Structure 1
Amino acid sequence: MKAEIITIGDEILIGQTIDSNSAWLGENLGLIGVRVSRIVTISDDEEEIRSALNESFSRVDLVLMTGGLGPTQDDITKKTLAGYFNSEFYFNEEVAAEIKAYFNSIGREPLEVNLKQAELPVKCTTILNTRGTASGMWFENDGKVLMSMPGVPYEMKGLMKDEVFKKIQTTFKTPAVYNRTILTIGVGESSIAAQLEQWETKLRDEGLGLAYLPSAGMVRLRVSGVGEDMVSIKKRVDQKITEALAVIGEISYGFDADSLAEIVGKLLKENNQTLSLAESCTGGYISHLITSVAGSSEFYDGSVVTYSYDTKKNWVGVSPESLAKYGAVSKSVVEEMALGVKEKFNTDYGISASGIAGPGGATEDKPVGTVWVGIATPSGVTSHLFTFGKHRLRNIIMTSNAALNILRKELLN
């Protein structure tokens, strides 16, 4: 089954806001057997809205619309949809009570303009919004369905999870869909595809789907199946996942929504071991990833951002001789940083990173993207050299992921 998404908002068209809603909807609709075939962004204009609806309904039976439902005069979607479906308005007392409860929860009284959000088209099924004031509106006409929702991502996702996904499945009797994603790091998409060529050919011959989803230093492999029997589909997909893991080995670090930091944290906790960090080019980003994990205080003691020569010398004991002879971006310095921070915090592991994130700072033998990562373990210290690209933020992310992956492999081995 196919659907289309219409996003409304001048702020999206002029680049003030990024449309993250459509990406989330596309991914999650796919999980219930609905394929998004088109995404359109339009302005807050009555004719644009009517035209977009006519075009979408000429192709599909389900349209999801986000945005334009605020209480201000520039948000005209609700009025336009009422006209489109030839509907009068009525005052929904249940929605009004929900709006009052919402404002009371944040210590405020609703204004008259807020309570006008309870005025809704008679011909829609109201989907209560417990996270804001703009209700969702489900319209049905001649086998066609429009679901209109607020553009605030938190509110839209809540409506979809609470009611709309189930309502779509009931209304359209969507097929069973099962997806599982292998998370990999350290090897590029083309190399993985070469390793899995025979496996992939057989997978597709058996009617299953595979998508390669690359990001900074990582590749996600999503295996999917569609059919009538969920138990059978799940069994087939899981079997293919097992076969793939036997081929690609330790470059796989988890599944689906796992994060590399979560996996590392789990291994540290299982081993009853601790971690500290000395960061230079990453500026605390590795620490951010670690502390994003709930319960990280059980295994993470702390970090120092040793950005300058002086902080490297004074905070983690890097020798002036090493800095003078080899420079901050070197094997010797990151190993001293790793050992120094491990000793400073008295942890089992110390990780360090020093590199040239860019765009400046490069030398002839150390171009932008040159990074050294050090790891001090209970048995010694080692370091790893990487050459990333020329984009500063991407280099920071890739360095952080590489550092966590070095620690992951050390913990596994």
Structure 2
Amino acid sequence: MTVLDIARPSEPAAAFAAAPAAATPSLVGLTRARLGEALLEAGVAERQVRMRAAQLNHWLHNRGAASFDAMTNVSKDLRAALAERFTLDRPEIVSEQISVDGTRKWLLRLPAQGPRMRPAEIETVYIPEEGRGTLCVSSQVGCTLTCTFCHTGTQTLVRNLTAAEIVAQLVVARDRLGDWTGGSAPEGAIVPGDGGRFVTNIVFMGMGEPLYNLDAVRDAIEVMADGEGLGVGRRKITVSTSGVVPEMRRLGEETGAQLAISLHAVRDELRDVIVPINRKYPIRDLLDACRTYPGASNARRITFEYVMLKGVNDNPAEARELVRLLAGLPAKINLIPFNPWPGSPYECSDWETIEKFSEIVFRAGYASPVRTPRGRDIAAACGQLKSETRRLRAKEREALEATQ
């Protein structure tokens, strides 16, 4: 494992004696509509806004421009006007950890979202694979859920991320990997040898429950999938939910993203413990929502994630019940060996047990790959992400809401 200290060590939230002043807003990660608003603020005539927004989008999200001076087809006057009001800042990289298997985890510090707010921190993970690279992004600081197998669930919700903060995770990854069109790689970045892109897939499987921040997730996907910008196809973007049933149809209709379900149990009495949101939206309701998910088909199967917990949910009878529950659904099943974290009450199932479970599912006609644990040595594997940002006090939440 390699650890690179790129910024000052993270300070505990309590060390901030006073809330920092509001930062100059960054244009990085904004939708075209929000870029248009910024251009109007900079004095651009309304009739030119659409064209200028397209230019900005190209420079920010296709070329990865880190300064306004790089935007050679934008007039000097407009560049100066934008520079007076905005920045192209990314989140601050507090640390970068590199696993022995090539997985990278970044601890990112986000600017305060208002004059009375404090900075917050999130984790983002890049997983290189043969022929592809997957970026696991966070949608919240902390998590509102308390799934008992998940380390993130031990950190209470601090706040939702904005759409721009979600997109900025991809921008940071491309900066660090030298993964921009026509750009030169920064020092220390890895450049694809075949001219391809390193980040080809996005999964909303980092910190937080994406469907409890759906407006921001929707807008972030709009920016990520823009063919003239970041250019990640919607079929390469997967949103995972623990089962926020009322928002699932809207996710499909408004984003076109692939759906993944954090299932992990086949009986309500067990899932109530492992994934407590099940008490509100039980398995039957969850699977009914899956059957009506927009766009689901054999070509666009729903992924069901199932973490293998020793002696808890891993016996052959549960494998057979899983097959029965998913009958008729266009589904694939990811079996995830449990990734340990300090204080966890669980152990990973034995490999022989996992293989028997997988064989039952496979013989029933479902793809049932066993996900190879990646980045375990840097706590970057599934269920291991956690930052040290503390929960907002009630007054801070009220101030944040007033700024949004």
Assess same fold via TM > 0.5. Answer: no
TM-score by length of 1: 0.27
Q: Which has the higher strand share?
A: 1
TM-score by length of 2: 0.28
Between 1 and 2, higher relative CO (CA 8 Å, sep ≥ 6) is seen in 2
Q: Which has the higher helix share?
A: 1
